[in-house]
Amino acid sequence: MLKHTFCHIPRIGTTTEQRYWGKGLKHWADAASQAGEAALGNNATWVRQHLDESLERLEAGDARWFDAGLPNAESWRLFGEFRERVAYVDIETTGLTHGEDHITTIALSGAGEVRTYVHGDNLADFQDDIRAFDVIATFNGKCFDVPFIERTFGIRLDMGHIDLRYVLKKIGFSGGLKSIEKQMGIGRDDLDGVDGYFAVILWHEYQNTGNAAALETLLAYNAADVVNLESLLVHAYNKLLDETPFAQGNRQDERPALPVRHEPDRGLVDRLMARHGMF
Cβ pair 108, 37 in contact under 8 A? no
- Is the pLDDT at 154 greater than 70? The verdict is yes
pLDDT at position 81: 96
Q: What's residue 245's pLDDT?
A: 95
Q: Work out the pLDDT band at 187, boundaries 50, 70, 90.
A: confident
With cut-offs at 50, 70 and 90, classify the pLDDT of residue 32. confident
Helix, strand, coil % over all residues of the chain, rounded to 5: 55, 10, 35
Average the pLDDT over 146-172 and give the result.
96
pLDDT digits (tens, 9 = 90+) for 207-220: 999 999 999 999 99
Report the distance separating Cα 67 and Cα 130, nearest Å. 17
Q: Which of 130, 167, 169 has the alpha carbon at shortest distance from 149?
A: 130
Q: Could you tell me what percent of the chain has a pLDDT over 70?
A: 99
Beta strands in the chain (DSSP E): 86-93, 103-110, 113-118, 135-138, 160-163
Whether 276 shows a pLDDT value over 90: the answer reads: no
pTM of the predicted structure, to 2 decimals: 0.94
Q: Please enumerate in sequence order all residues whose Cβ is within 8 A of that of 197, keeping only pairs 6 or more positions apart, or say none.
A: none
User: Are 2 and 81 within 8 A, CB to CB?
Assistant: yes
Give the CATH number of domain 80-275; options: 3.90.180.10, 3.30.420.10, 1.10.260.40, 3.40.50.40. Answer: 3.30.420.10
Burial 73-93 (b: 16+ CB within 10 A, else e): bbbbbbbbbbbebbbbbbbbb
Q: Which pLDDT value is given to residue 279? A: 64
DSSP 190-213: GGTT--HHHHHHHHHHHHHH--HH
Region of residue 112 (phi > 0: left; psi between -120 and 50: alpha; otherwise: beta): left
β-partners of residue 135 are 86, 160
Q: What is the pLDDT of residue 186?
A: 86
Give the start-to-end residue ranges of the domains of the chain. Answer: 2-60, 80-275
Q: Cα–Cα–Cα angle for 209, 210, 211, nearest 5°?
A: 90
DSSP state of 4: G
* Closest to 232 measured CA to CA, from 172, 176, 167: 167
Model confidence pLDDT, tens digit, residues 235-266: 999 999 999 999 999 999 999 989 999 999 99
Please, which residues have CB within 8 angstroms of residue 207's CB and are 6 or more apart in sequence? none
- Structure confidence at residue 100 as a pLDDT band (50, 70, 90): confident
d(CA 236, CA 72): 14
